[in-house]
Amino acid sequence: MKARRIPVPAPLRAKISSLEAQLAFCDALITFAGQIPETIHQRAQIRVYKALEGILSVELQGARKEATDRSKKLTA
């Protein structure tokens, strides 16, 4: 028996994709700033990017949960 794919509303798919791209960009910025920061500015950049990454991760989890909940309602 073939598994049934649960539909996810298009706006949520776009939001999830956007958040994933933003997280990837934050990761690239952290890497670019350097694993061993040499200046106070680099250390500050890394702290800011990591904080932003944490916030985006929470938002992404919420968006994925919302997508799952909505798709369950659509298939119920």
Query: Quick one: pLDDT at residue 73?
Result: 76
In which domain, by residue range, is 22 found? 10-75
Are the CB atoms for 20 and 57 separated by under 8 Å? no
pLDDT at residue 57 above 70? Answer: yes
Residue 1 banded pLDDT, cuts 50, 70, 90: very low
Q: For 42-66, what is the mean pLDDT? A: 92
Residue 63 banded pLDDT, cuts 50, 70, 90: very high
Number of domains in the chain: 1
Distances (CA, A) of 2 to 5, 8, 69, 70: 9, 18, 22, 22
17-38 pLDDT per residue, tens: 999 999 999 999 888 887 777 8
